[in-house]
């Protein structure tokens, strides 16, 4: 796929994903009204908050973790959070950052710095903390998505789960450092600095919620994986987490200042604002900024490097400004600042089927091998025959559509994940664990007889243990996971691997083979399914080929 087309699909599809019906509120409380016994209070550094106790889990929604980011604080660090008197209700999710409205979630707002907590108990016990950054690229998403409901992780694995809303898109990543002076230093990274502020809040307050401030894992999927990659390389975030997991969103490189400046120039042009009068940006209604944002193409950062002077506008995302984000997260090497922090990284085997489903383009399902060549040539040119030949030899029983999915999926999320694993292990510090999620859903892509397999984003409900039997509060059939009871076992195992990693820094689960760290000698990969297995040097021939044509360093 062309990178520009990929991100267009990503933005559209993630909007749709996060607004999907069918998941509902996992483990609902039922129809009865809440009573005094259902409420639970907690003391924070800023005042007391009141949440609910539901089916053995204390849930606090919409706790503010920093102050306003509107008005004079737009494009700047948040205002200090003001303490409050009395008890602040934390019963409803806070608004997400400005974006198109989302079904079954709060209306977006410019002031959006709220977090949610799921904990087994506010009892002073030091449980591992799992701090999740939502997906949606850098332009959409919310900590209120039911797919990532943290209750089952807290309930069944005795961990504390935290999720934030944070600034996105133009409001979170407009680069003004070269125009606006020291008050706006780091403006191209406000979205990730918000997440860092959330981590700091957790460090200061999570003990009250039964969590251990000295045992925090950061993790995230898709855009949340890229955010996690950035946090892994940010000095301000470093004191507040101990391990990380990057899931179907490898952030090897981020936006350069030249590319970010080009995007800023395009925004000013769209708004008819002279760069000298940049302060007029503070007066533009947020809805108008969102409209401008929608006109600017988002192009994900490349694994490769652009020549100086060839920078084009890239949309909105973290900027390698030399201060907040001192260098690309994993280029040319893994960040020294996180050398001693264990890492998991990986991707889903059939990432592309998600995007085919969202774009309603099922043409790939009907191609033969001549059609496969025609479909790949626009992106890979003269390397196409070598790619097809390599994949056919490595997968002699695969059909043309299956090879297309394999090629598209590894290019989307796989090659970057391998780069991260290689560069992390080369440091010789804390271990890195590489995975492939491979549970196969039988759900068909609409308009075809082709099954989704393991599409992008399907891992969310699995790792949050939200694929559970009806007697445990789940549903007969899940949106992506399908209706086979096998998914319950795969979900439980994936959740146990993640929570054990959060607890100890080594992923493990009952009945799952020991997961060895990735090294340049064994290149061990855990394939996660109903029956998990460790595969050494997986995709060896394919990766050798990608290296030979310069797609993998």
Same domain, 360 and 215: no
Domain boundary pick from 215, 238, 255: 255
This prediction's pTM = 0.94
* 68 has a pLDDT exceeding 70: yes
* 308 has a pLDDT exceeding 60: no
Cross-strand bridge partners of residue 319: 255
Same domain, 190 and 49: yes
Given the residues 134, 166, 328, 456, select the one marked as catalytic: 456
Please give the span between the terminal C-alpha atoms of the chain, in angstroms, as a whole number: 20
Residue 361 included in any domain = yes
Same domain, 198 and 85: yes
Q: Which tokens go with 13?
A: 């599809």
pLDDT digits (tens, 9 = 90+) for 192-233: 999 999 999 999 999 999 999 999 999 999 999 999 999 999
Residue 97 included in any domain = yes
pLDDT digits (tens, 9 = 90+) for 114-137: 999 999 999 999 999 999 999 999
Residue 163 included in any domain = yes
What percent of the chain clears pLDDT 90, i.e. is strictly above it? 88
Residue 266, CA distances (Å) to 174, 272, 398 in order = 11, 10, 45
Residue 26 included in any domain = no
Domain boundary pick from 255, 289, 304: 255
Same domain, 401 and 537: yes
Say what the pLDDT of residue 19 is: 35
- What integer best gives the mean pLDDT of the chain? 92
Given the residues 236, 247, 349, 351, select the one marked as catalytic: 351
3-state DSSP call for residue 50? strand
Q: What is the mean pLDDT of residues 444-470?
A: 97
351 has catalytic annotation: yes
pLDDT grade for 34, boundaries at 50, 70 and 90? low
Q: CB–CB of 50/91 below 8 Å?
A: yes
pLDDT digits (tens, 9 = 90+) for 364-388: 999 999 999 999 999 999 999 999 9
Residue 137 included in any domain = yes
pLDDT digits (tens, 9 = 90+) for 39-53: 999 999 999 999 999
Residue 291 included in any domain = no
pLDDT grade for 278, boundaries at 50, 70 and 90? very high
Q: What is the mean pLDDT of residues 333-351?
A: 98
Same domain, 133 and 232: yes
Question: Which residue carries 């040097």 as its tokens?
Answer: 537
203 has catalytic annotation: no
CA 550 to chain CA mean position, Å: 27
Say what the pLDDT of residue 5 is: 36
454: domain range? 343-548
Residue 211 included in any domain = yes
Residues in the chain: 553
Cβ atoms within 10 Å of 494's Cβ, excluding its own: 26
Q: What is the mean pLDDT of residues 349-360?
A: 96
State how many domains the chain has. Answer: 2
Residue 88 included in any domain = yes
Given the residues 11, 133, 222, 478, select the one marked as catalytic: 222
Q: What is the mean pLDDT of residues 182-191?
A: 97
222 has catalytic annotation: yes
* 21 has a pLDDT exceeding 70: no
* 251 has a pLDDT exceeding 90: yes
Q: What share of the chain is helix, strand, coil (3-state, %, to 5)?
A: 40, 15, 45
Alpha-helical runs (H) found in 24-168: 151-157
Same domain, 111 and 218: yes
Domain boundary pick from 208, 235, 255: 255
Q: What is the CATH number of the domain that holds 234?
A: 3.40.50.1820
């Amino acid at each position: 796929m062309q990178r520009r087309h990929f991100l267009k699909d990503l933005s559209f599809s993630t909007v749709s994903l996060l607004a999907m019906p069918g998941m509902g509120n996992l483990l609902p409380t039922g129809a009865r009204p809440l009573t005094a016994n259902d409420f639970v209070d907690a003391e924070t550094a800023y005042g007391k908050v009141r949440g609910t106790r539901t089916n053995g889990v204390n849930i606090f929604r919409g706790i503010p973790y920093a102050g306003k980011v509107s008005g004079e604080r737009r494009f700047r660090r948040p205002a200090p959070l003001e303490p409050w008197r009395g008890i602040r209700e934390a019963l409803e999710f806070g608004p997400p950052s400005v974006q198109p409205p989302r079904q079954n979630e709060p209306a977006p707002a410019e002031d959006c710095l709220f977090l949610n907590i799921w904990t087994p108990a506010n009892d002073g016990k030091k449980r591992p903390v799992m701090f999740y950054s939502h997906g949606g690229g850098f332009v959409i998403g919310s900590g209120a998505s039911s797919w990532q409901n943290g209750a089952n992780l807290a309930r069944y694995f005795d961990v504390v789960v935290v999720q934030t809303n944070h600034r996105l898109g133009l409001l979170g990543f407009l680069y003004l450092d070269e125009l606006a002076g020291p008050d706006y230093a780091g403006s191209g990274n406000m979205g990730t600095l918000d997440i860092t502020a959330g981590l700091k809040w957790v460090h200061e307050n999570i003990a009250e919620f039964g969590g251990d401030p000295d045992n925090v894992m950061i993790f995230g999927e898709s855009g949340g994986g890229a955010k996690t990659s950035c946090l892994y390389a940010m000095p301000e975030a470093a004191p507040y987490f101990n391990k990380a997991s990057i899931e179907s969103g490898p952030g090897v490189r981020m936006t350069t200042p030249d590319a970010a400046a080009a995007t800023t120039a395009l925004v000013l042009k769209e708004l008819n604002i002279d760069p000298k009068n940049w302060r007029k940006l503070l007066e533009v209604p947020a809805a108008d900024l969102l409209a401008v944002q929608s006109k600017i193409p988002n192009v994900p950062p490349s694994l490769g490097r652009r020549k100086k002077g060839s920078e084009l506008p890239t949309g909105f995302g973290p900027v390698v400004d030399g201060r907040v984000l001192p260098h690309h997260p994993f280029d040319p090497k893994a960040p020294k600042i996180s050398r001693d922090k264990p890492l998991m990284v990986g991707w889903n085997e059939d990432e592309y089927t998600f995007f085919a489903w969202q774009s309603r383009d099922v043409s790939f399902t009907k191609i033969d091998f001549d059609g496969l060549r025609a479909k790949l040539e626009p992106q890979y040119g003269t390397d196409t025959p070598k790619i097809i030949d390599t994949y056919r030899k490595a997968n002699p029983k695969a059909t043309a559509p299956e090879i297309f999915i394999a090629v598209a999926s590894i290019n989307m999320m796989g090659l970057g994940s391998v780069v991260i694993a290689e560069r992390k292990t080369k440091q010789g510090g804390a271990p890195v664990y590489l995975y492939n999620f491979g549970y196969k859903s039988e759900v068909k892509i609409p308009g075809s007889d082709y099954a989704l397999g393991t599409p992008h984003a399907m891992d969310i409900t699995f790792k949050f243990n939200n694929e559970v039997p009806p007697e445990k509060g789940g549903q007969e059939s899940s949106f992506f996971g399908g209706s086979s009871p096998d998914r319950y076992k795969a979900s439980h195992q994936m959740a146990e691997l993640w929570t054990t990693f959060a607890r100890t820094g080594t992923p493990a689960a009952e009945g799952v083979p020991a997961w060895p760290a990735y090294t340049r000698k064994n290149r061990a990969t855990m394939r996660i399914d109903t029956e998990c297995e460790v595969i050494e040097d997986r995709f060896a021939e394919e990766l050798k080929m990608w290296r030979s044509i310069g797609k993998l360093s």
